[in-house]
Amino acid sequence: MLESVAKTESGFNPNAKNKKSGAAGMMQFMPATARGYGIDPYDPTQAVDAAGKMLSGLAAKYDGDWQKALAGYNWGGGNVDKAVRKYGDNWLAHAPTETKNYIRKILG
């Protein structure tokens, strides 16, 4: 899973920087998230370790639902929670196109 996330996020580029969002590194951590994990997002080892922890936490939060876990990584867990509360099982239809495409690329 982490390999697919890294490929989708940055094409495995540890120096990737999204000028629009500010996401950085191979796993494309937002600055606040990187600080929260205490990592340098440009260090591949630290970034992959933190991404693994983050995805594991999201998968546990969403009872193994990888669509929700990946949406949480891409769109933010708070946004996923709001969509699920508002739309129930149809939450994904109301997610951003970027998030839908992200999930499709990783899960197939």
Active site residues: 9
Of 1, 103, 2, 17, the closest CA to residue 49 belongs to 2
Confirm if 103 and 70 have CB atoms less than 8 A apart. Answer: yes
Q: Which residues contact 81 (CB under 8 A, 6 or more apart)?
A: none
